[in-house]
Amino acid sequence: MKQYQQHQQYIEEAEQLLLHTYNRYQIVLERGEDVYLYDINGKKYLDFCAGIAVFALGYGNTEYKEALKSQIDKLIHTSNYFYNLPAISAAKKLTKVSGMDKVFFTNSGAEAIEGAIKAARKYAFEKDKREDHEIIAMERSFHGRTMGALSVTGNYKYREAFGPMIGNIRFALMNDWEDLESKVTERTCAILLETVQGEGGIYPAEKEFLQKIRQLCDERDILLILDEIQCGMGRCGTMFAYQEYGILPDILTTAKALGCGVPVGAFLMNQKTAEGSLKAGDHGTTYGGNPLACAAVDKVLDLFEENHIIENVAKTGAYLARRLDELVDKYDFITARRGKGLMQGLVFEMPVRGVIEKAMEKGLIIINAGECILRFVPPLVITQEHVDVMISILEDCFRECIAERDQV
């Protein structure tokens, strides 16, 4: 009883002090270990959320923690008036694994999108000095909560209370080439999309669709911007999801697992875009690229290679997809599975919040991607055994849902 009262007290204090912009689940988390989280009462949860696709390496990785502690003892922040060694090392590794040429480190994914938008418009402005260039984004997309990122987010419910947005944004249907082509004009300066849509319902871009966009952009000197904030950093079975499609973007945005818990993002460019867009004074950040954040990026990239993270995603992701397909075949209220690697979604005929709450009661943390879609974005170090435990808990939840449905 005392533990319960303390738990409720923390929640009540949070509601009094924190702005209520989240409908939080009634759990107060305290610590993590491997792929498990523990609340203040000591209850253990198998984590298939990973902080919304952030904690790729799981919780408590010793080498990661030691790298951060070491950097804290040396230097946390200086500003971008000076160079720092972790930023140089992290940039070298990130350009190598992405195939890009230049990096700008940010504090978040939304900031990376803001920078990408500015870079695209500056690139077009440098060519013709016009200020009326357009960006084409996708319906169902999600790119962040800041004003520029909201403006290119193709879901009206996120935008409606905050207009007017920044102008000259057009939306096309994901994977509909004819619709996208019809939106392109002489003023189009960039086409922006998530290689795999996350919040919009786990929709991967089709290979032909993305390759046609790349060809169009090459022919008309339009910039291709790929948002891999959620689907990148190994989550889909390659270091970045676009690498499976045989293309390179002109601008790439990344964040989430880039720092595995330390708030850091980045936008990257190829040489052509870098030379033709942002110059000194065009863009900046106080904290972005500081030694602590970049020490995290630097170590994360090392650990991805040393621990064969991509190989594990390919193997375990295929197993997860197979087990989820079995659920689609078995239960009439599940209609489809979508996704790549360890970024998967199950589509239901009903809202899934009840399933999520039942799962949490049974020690499994999962989240949604839209009202009727369960999203699976676990740490990239999970095993097939963890998948089996997750499926077992989910099926217990489904049986309870069926029993409740039959009683009505």
Q: Indicate whether 301 and 327 sit together in one domain.
A: no
CA distance 114 to 283: 10
Q: Indicate whether 289 and 313 sit together in one domain.
A: no
At position 304, the amino acid (one-letter code) is: F
Q: Indicate whether 257 and 319 sit together in one domain.
A: no
Q: Indicate whether 52 and 90 sit together in one domain.
A: no
Query: What pLDDT does residue 3 have?
Result: 66
Name the domain count of the chain: 2
Which SS3 state, helix, strand or coil, does residue 250 take?
Answer: coil
* End residue of a domain, out of 306, 322, 348: 306
Q: Indicate whether 339 and 275 sit together in one domain.
A: no
Residues 6+ apart with CB under 8 A from 248: 99, 100, 242, 270
Locate 116 and state its tokens: 């990408």
Query: What pLDDT does residue 317 have?
Result: 98
Query: What pLDDT does residue 229 have?
Result: 98
- pTM, 2 dp: 0.96
What interhelical angle do 353-361 and 384-407 show, nearest 10? 120
The residue among 204, 267, 260 whose CA lies nearest residue 68 is 260
CA distance 226 to 332: 35
Q: Indicate whether 69 and 177 sit together in one domain.
A: yes
CA distance 342 to 367: 14
Burial class (CB in 10 A: 0-12, 13-18, 19+), 349: exposed
CA distance 108 to 158: 18
Q: Which residue has the tokens 């994901």?
A: 174
For residues 84 and 291, is the Cβ–Cβ distance under 8 A? yes
DSSP bridge partners of 365: 47
Q: Indicate whether 268 and 258 sit together in one domain.
A: yes
Q: Indicate whether 71 and 111 sit together in one domain.
A: yes
Q: Indicate whether 152 and 235 sit together in one domain.
A: yes
Q: Indicate whether 85 and 102 sit together in one domain.
A: yes
pLDDT 10s per residue in the chain (408 long)?
666 678 899 999 999 999 999 989 999 999 999 999 999 999 999 999 999 999 999 999 999 999 999 999 999 999 999 999 999 999 999 999 999 999 999 999 999 999 999 999 999 999 999 999 999 999 999 999 999 999 999 999 999 999 999 999 999 999 999 999 999 999 999 999 999 999 999 999 999 999 999 999 999 999 999 999 999 999 999 999 999 999 999 999 999 999 999 999 999 999 999 999 999 999 999 999 999 999 999 999 999 999 999 999 999 999 999 999 999 999 999 999 999 999 999 999 999 999 999 999 999 999 999 999 999 999 999 999 999 999 999 999 999 988 887 776
Which CATH number do you get for residue 188?
3.40.640.10
**Omega prior to 378 cis, within 30 of 0:** no
Order across the sheet with 169-172: list the strands: 102-106, 265-269, 251-254, 223-227, 188-194, 134-138, 169-172
- Positive/negative CA dihedral, 111, 117, 121, 123: positive
Domain that holds residue 253: 62-306
